[in-house]
Amino acid sequence: MFVRGIFVCVLVGFHLLAKADIGDTIIALDPVYTKGVRFEDPSVGAKLIPIDSFQLELNQMRSLAEVLNQQSFVNLGSLGPGGLATMSIRGNGADHTTIVWNGLNLKPPMSGQLNLSAVNAGMFDQVSIQPGGSSTMYGAGAASGIVFLTNKLVLTDDGLGMNAGVEVGTAETKSINSSIKYSTNNFGTRLNISMQQVANNFEFFNTDRFGDPKERQEHAAYKTLSVVQQNSFMLNGTATLETDIWYSRHFKEIPSLTSSLLPGRDEQRDENLHIAINATKYGNNWFIKYRGGLLHYTIDYLGYTTGEPVLSENRSLTLVNELESKYSFSQSQLIFLGLNSTIDYAAASEYSKDPVRQKLDVFGRYTSFYFSNYLQIDIEARVPSVNGRFIPLVYSGNIKIKTIESVFLKGAGSKLYNLPDLNDLYWDSTGLAAGNPYLEPEYGWNIEAGILHTHDREQLSITHELTVYQNKLFDAIIWAQNDQNTWTPDNYDRSITKGFEFTGKYIFKFISTRMVFAYDYAYTDAMVYKMVNERYEGKPMRYVPLNKAGVRIQLFVKNFSAGTYAQLIEERPIDRAGNYLEPYALVNLNARYRFKIKRAKLAVYLKITNLLDTNYKLRAGYAQPLRGFYTGLIYTL
């Protein structure tokens, strides 16, 4: 049984003498992302949560999946380390969460789910999460939340700079992350390369076998390569041009299920290419932005389901062209307009045909301020069309009210829509799975309200935020087994998720000592309903915990820092028959020391994951590692 309450993490203080004091950036990153957020400004009622810069630095050689899983409102679905990892927000499916990289929607048109295990967290300068429906600004797929990944190359007269890191650890983990950049006041360029190789031969207790024997994971190794190249130009002081290229390659051996007596033999290779162009011209009270993009996804899966090797080849290409504009009538009246054209091409061994999908959307926002900016209102709308067929208008309203000092009330209501993925429609019957060409788009509503309190003083900074929400989707697309035991998607009558999120962060500062205490808690009631015998039959959404909580404590004393993160997750339903995964608790520790050698800054660190040696699963049939140790060195010039 899940125990609701507060779990206390005791941090032992360390005393360390250091020759030089190197400051840490521990305050949350600036939540304004000019390349990613529509119209360079998030919707007024939106809840935007940046990942702490210290956590990004400490986990720069880990996957994005591991970083995002430390948020209570995020539910990670992982087939083991290095395996397929997707995320959902507020209880909805993975294809209801959109990943936005430098303004481009990275949702793969075939599966609708980006593999977060193949994404290295160190490739980005900023990562933030926006829970809640955002279909009006970001189109199909943004029904429950967005993750913003940003490469932000700041133009300063710094000249040449370098960064390199190496990490080794449990399960024969070997990782490197390096970057080199050159910048002036008008031009900057940067190259970032990251590689990881893991044998992934960790030990675990196999609860799917009698006696829960301790076993070693086999046939689960993986390799990842990521390369990001950026260029940024300042033109005449009023225009910018930014280009970003992101190439990634991921190879994974697929282990057998923990309930299987047969050894694993399957393999998967992913190869992705993303190209983004952002060109912006600024005026006194206006700007216009062009954004272009190319997304190419390749997945080759070698399976042995029939005993003989069968290669499944999947290819997709997405071309994006977009215009955004802003005009300020006055300091209190602003209008934003945008046009998006997206073309998806796809081909797969199991498809009944090679589909092409063309989307053309017009969207906009009107923002107004009242009572000396104490009241702000956004009204947004989007007119989407697919292959020349108009989809009903989606729209939203957002409000933010400043009450007493540092206390804000926020609210948002929006209409949502989501298109079937191409796999949902065109997957030809293989006996195990079959698509459904008669699927209808999902549509629904999202409403939320919240209160935000901030307090910022010289020695103490406090942030609290409480948000309550309800998300309702009709014609919800759910994959389930039919009477022939074939997995196939169908439009269920509705899915309803509701709950609340409570987050807080304290930063204490005294001379050269600082401490960060942060917590988050999410209550998520997620149900899916279908009409059976003239009555609605409701079942809990698979793998969604009712309660999830986390606590983080980090202490900084001059050049030394140490901290802990603890997470508690309730049992999660795994099928419609009432079976559940066990609840679990995880505790991680970290310590880091920074020092200088002439101009170079170096940092050495140690991380201990799963300190309590908890045996747990994120998906049924796939093991997760027990206690792990990782150490690394980071060099910055």
Question: Can you tell me the mean pLDDT for 543-568?
Answer: 96
Q: pLDDT tens, 584-594?
A: 999 999 999 99
SS3 track for 381-439: EEECEECCEECCCEEEEEEEEECCCCEEEEEEEEEEEECCCHHHHHECCCCCECCCCCC
Q: What is the pLDDT of residue 7?
A: 31
142-158 as b/e, with b when 16 or more CB fall inside 10 Å? bbbbbbbbbbbbeeeee
Question: Can you tell me the mean pLDDT for 571-576?
Answer: 86
Whole-number Å distance between alpha carbons of 182 and 231: 10
Whole-number Å distance between alpha carbons of 171 and 197: 10
Q: What is the pLDDT of residue 44?
A: 82
For residue 53, what pLDDT band results from cuts at 50, 70 and 90? confident
- Among residues 549, 561, 559, the alpha carbon closest in space to that of 515 is found at 561
pLDDT at 275 over 50: yes
Report which DSSP code applies to 578.
S
For residue 534, what pLDDT band results from cuts at 50, 70 and 90? low
Whole-number Å distance between alpha carbons of 14 and 264: 46
Whole-number Å distance between alpha carbons of 1 and 570: 8
Whole-number Å distance between alpha carbons of 381 and 417: 12
**Is 585 in contact with 614 (CB distance < 8 Å)?**
yes
Q: What is the pLDDT of residue 331?
A: 84
Q: Which residues contact 74 (CB under 8 A, 6 or more apart)?
A: 68, 87, 88, 89, 129
By CB atoms closer than 10 A (0-12, 13-18, 19+), residue 259 is: exposed
Whole-number Å distance between alpha carbons of 24 and 561: 9
**Is 422 in contact with 475 (CB distance < 8 Å)?**
no
Whole-number Å distance between alpha carbons of 361 and 278: 19
Q: pLDDT tens, 452-510?
A: 999 988 899 999 999 999 999 999 888 888 777 888 998 888 889 999 999 999 999 98
**Is 320 in contact with 358 (CB distance < 8 Å)?**
no
Whole-number Å distance between alpha carbons of 276 and 295: 9
Q: Which residues contact 359 (CB under 8 A, 6 or more apart)?
A: 139, 140, 340, 341, 342, 343, 344, 384, 385, 386
Q: pLDDT tens, 63-91?
A: 999 999 888 788 888 999 999 999 989 98
**Is 53 in contact with 124 (CB distance < 8 Å)?**
no
Between 404 and 420, the more confident residue is 420
- Please give the C-alpha separations between residue 41 and each of 119, 241, 325, 365, 380, in angstroms, as whole numbers: 26, 19, 12, 11, 13
Please give the CATH number for the structural domain made up of 38-636: 2.40.170.20
pLDDT at 118 over 70: yes
Q: What is the pLDDT of residue 478?
A: 84
Whole-number Å distance between alpha carbons of 582 and 448: 30
Residue 331 — φ and ψ, nearest 5°? -70, -15
Q: Which residues contact 633 (CB under 8 A, 6 or more apart)?
A: 165, 166, 602, 603, 604, 605
With a threshold of 0.85, does the pTM exceed it?
yes
Between 610 and 93, the more confident residue is 610
Q: What is the pLDDT of residue 6?
A: 31
- Among residues 177, 185, 179, 178, the alpha carbon closest in space to that of 159 is found at 185
Question: Can you tell me the mean pLDDT for 293-308?
Answer: 91
Q: What is the pLDDT of residue 12?
A: 29
Q: Which residues contact 275 (CB under 8 A, 6 or more apart)?
A: 243, 244, 245, 246, 293, 294, 295
For residue 291, what pLDDT band results from cuts at 50, 70 and 90? very high
Q: pLDDT tens, 324-360?
A: 999 998 889 999 999 999 999 999 988 988 999 999 9
Q: What is the pLDDT of residue 431?
A: 66
pLDDT at 532 over 80: no
Helix (H) or strand (E) holding 550: strand 547-557
pLDDT at 516 over 80: yes
Tokens of 48: 């935007």
CA 476 and chain centroid, separation: 22
For residue 531, what pLDDT band results from cuts at 50, 70 and 90? low
The residues pairing with 345 across neighbouring beta strands, listed in sequence order, are: 317, 356
Whole-number Å distance between alpha carbons of 263 and 255: 7
**Is 524 in contact with 544 (CB distance < 8 Å)?**
yes
Question: Can you tell me the mean pLDDT for 147-160?
Answer: 87
Q: What is the pLDDT of residue 35?
A: 66
**Is 416 in contact with 445 (CB distance < 8 Å)?**
yes
Highest mean pLDDT among 280-294, 298-312, 471-485 belongs to 280-294
Whole-number Å distance between alpha carbons of 386 and 230: 32
Q: State whether residue 15 is helix, strand or coil.
A: coil
- Please give the C-alpha separations between residue 423 and each of 313, 384, 561, in angstroms, as whole numbers: 13, 21, 47
Q: What is the pLDDT of residue 15?
A: 29
Report which DSSP code applies to 373.
T
User: Range with the lowest mean pLDDT among 42-46, 124-128, 396-400?
Assistant: 42-46
- Please give the C-alpha separations between residue 415 and each of 99, 272, 396, in angstroms, as whole numbers: 20, 32, 6
Tell me the average pLDDT of the chain: 89
Whole-number Å distance between alpha carbons of 90 and 113: 16
By CB atoms closer than 10 A (0-12, 13-18, 19+), residue 591 is: middle
By CB atoms closer than 10 A (0-12, 13-18, 19+), residue 531 is: exposed
pLDDT at 300 over 70: yes
Q: What is the pLDDT of residue 553?
A: 97
Tokens of 328: 């300020």
Question: Can you tell me the mean pLDDT for 350-379?
Answer: 94
- Among residues 420, 422, 447, 425, the alpha carbon closest in space to that of 436 is found at 425
What percent of the chain has a predicted confidence (pLDDT) above 70? 94
Radius of gyration of the chain measured on its C-alpha atoms: 24
Q: State whether residue 286 is helix, strand or coil.
A: strand
- Among residues 84, 89, 92, the alpha carbon closest in space to that of 46 is found at 89
Q: What is the pLDDT of residue 10?
A: 28
Longest CA–CA separation in the chain, Å: 77
Question: Can you tell me the mean pLDDT for 50-57?
Answer: 89
Whole-number Å distance between alpha carbons of 251 and 517: 38
Helix (H) or strand (E) holding 290: strand 286-303
Question: Can you tell me the mean pLDDT for 35-44?
Answer: 76
- Among residues 45, 126, 132, 6, the alpha carbon closest in space to that of 501 is found at 132
Q: What is the pLDDT of residue 5?
A: 38
Q: pLDDT tens, 212-224?
A: 999 999 999 999 9
Rounding to the nearest 10 degrees, give the CA dihedral for residues 230, 231, 237, 240: -70
